[in-house]
Structure 1
Amino acid sequence: MNIEYLKYFAELAKIQHYGKAAKALNISQPGLSHAIKTLEEEYGVPLFQKEGRNVSLSHYGKELMTDVEDILDIYLRMEERAAGMRAEEKTVRIGTVYPLAAGMVPRMLRESGATFPFVIYNHLTPEISEGLLDGKYDIGFCSDLLKSEDLEYYPIRDSYIAVVVPKGHPLEKRNAISLKDVADYPQIMFSKTSGFRKLQEQVFAAEGITIQPVCSAEEIEVITGLIGNGFGISVLPYMDIVHLHNLVAIPVQTSIWKSKFYIARRKYGIRSEQEESFFQYCKSIGE
């Protein structure tokens, strides 16, 4: 079956004139005649009948016309879907943990000279790992080592716990600090529905400190806003976003919590040249 010949068949059935149909199809009239003759030989029946200078569908042609229209409709939908898939394939889908979303990932995209279209999604490490494995993301930036034989991952930077204070705070000039030094200041924490709240509680518990927060919030953007407006300070895993506000992050000396950020992807897959280049650039940062 030649899909182009079926298109010619449908166009000739509509226009009912070889010369005009050939012009509409931007082919020669002999080329159109050859296509129709080939179809008639293939199906073993005449598809058109002459009516003076025009032609019309034979009764065989009329019976086949419905099927031809269905085939062409399916083919058009398939072409449209394939075009969408090609456009999507060129778009690099990046999943990143929140600490890197506002600063490091955009900066690496700029420094690597990335010109490809991309989409950035913010999630926690488990969601990013799952998204990489099921093909939702092409590249992931994660805060924990992903234990999967189907993924490759490389460290790109260390993470740490920091005390975040507003500019002008008495602790602002400290290069490092202990949790005991900050325990008496009003504390802002993540809400109990956030995955980061457990981490905050653990680092204080490791120092034998119990904290009752003055307020809490689900999102880091809200917490940084509360800090900036003087409601308190917060002990947070390091996040680039604090530098986008009028805030200071002071590393905590005594925290037992240590972690790294990783870049990850599926071990096998079809990759664009620019996607591969960006991955290798990010990988080289941690080497």
Structure 2
Amino acid sequence: MNIEYLKYFAELAKLQHYGKAAKALNISQPGLSHAIKTLEDEYGVPLFQKEGRNVSLSRYGKELMQDVEEILDAYLRMEERAAGLRTEEKTVRIGTVYPLAAGTIPHMLREFGATFPFIIYNRLTPEIEEGLLDGKYDIGFCSELLKSEELEYYPLRESYIAAAVPEGHPLEGKENITLKEAAKYPQVMFSRTSGFRSLQEQIFAEQGIQVKSVCEAEEIEVITGLVENGFGISILPYMDIVRLHHITAIPVQTSSWKSKFYIARRKYGIRTAQEEAFFQHWRK
């Protein structure tokens, strides 16, 4: 089946004149006649009948016309979808854990000089792994090693435990502090519905320190807002969002907790040159 010949068939059926149809299709009249003759030979039936200087569909042509229209409609939808995929393919989809989303990823894109369009999605590491595997994301930034052998990943940077304090706080000028020093001040903690709450409790428990929160919140944006407005300080893994507020992050020297962030992607896949260059730029 030649899709172009089916287009010719449909146009001739509509205009009912070889000369007019050939002009509309921007082909020669002999070329159109050859295409119709080829279809008739292929199907074994006459598709048109002469009516003076014009032509009309034969009874066989009328029966085939509905199928031809459906085929051409489906072909048009396929072309439109393919065009959409080509446009989408130029957009790099980035899945990232929240600690890197606000500052690190935009900074990396700017430092690289990215000119490609991109979309950033905030997700948890398991969701990023799943998204990389099923093609939702092109590049992932995660907080732990991924298990799938279909993915490649490289360490990007380490995180550490810090005390987030508001401007003007007595601890603000210190280069680092101990957990005991931090425990003397009211604590803003994550709520028990947050995955970070257990980490906060673990950090204090390792030092045999008991603290009671003065207020709690589930999201880091609210935690930083409470700290910024003087409700207390917060012990948490360093996150770039701290830099977006009037808050100082002081490393806690007595905490041994460390976490690595990784850049990851599928081992095999179709990539644009810019996407490949960006990944390789940050691969360690």
Aligned to 1:109: 109
> Which whole-Å CA distance do the structure 2 matches of 1:280 and 1:134 have between them?
22
Cα-to-partner distance string for 1:47-101 (whole Å, 9 max, x where unaligned): 1111122211000000000111111111112112222222222211111111111
Q: Which moved more, 1:91-100 or 1:189-198?
A: 189-198
> Which whole-Å CA distance do the structure 1 matches of 2:22 and 2:169 have between them?
80
Indicate whether 1:120 and 2:112 are aligned: no
**3-state SS in 2 of match to 1:146:** coil
Aligned to 2:65: 65
Aligned residues: 284
Cα-to-partner distance string for 1:215-246 (whole Å, 9 max, x where unaligned): 22222112111111112111111111110111
- In the alignment, structure 1 segments of 5+ residues that lack a partner are none
Quote the RMSD (CA, aligned, Å): 1.3
Alignment of 1:87-102 (within 5 A): 87-102=87-102
User: Is this contact kept in 2: 1:164–1:250, CA < 8 A?
Assistant: yes
Code of the residue aligned with 1:271 in structure 2: it is R
TM-score (norm 1): 0.95
Indicate whether 1:279 and 2:279 are aligned: yes
Aligned to 1:225: 225
Aligned to 2:134: 134
Q: Which moved more, 1:207-216 or 1:228-237?
A: 207-216
Indicate whether 1:49 and 2:49 are aligned: yes
Cα-to-partner distance string for 1:179-223 (whole Å, 9 max, x where unaligned): 111112121122222222221121111111222222222221121
Aligned to 2:266: 266
Indicate whether 1:74 and 2:85 are aligned: no
User: Is this contact kept in 2: 1:206–1:256, CA < 8 A?
Assistant: no
Cα deviation, residue 28, structure 1:
2.1
> Which whole-Å CA distance do the structure 2 matches of 1:212 and 1:50 have between them?
94
Aligned to 2:243: 243
> Where has structure 1 moved over 3 Å in runs of 4 or more?
none
TM-score (norm 2): 0.96
Code of the residue aligned with 1:203 in structure 2: it is I
Alignment of 1:161-200 (within 5 A): 161-200=161-200
**3-state SS in 2 of match to 1:45:** coil
**3-state SS in 2 of match to 1:4:** helix
- In the alignment, structure 2 segments of 5+ residues that lack a partner are none
**3-state SS in 2 of match to 1:111:** helix
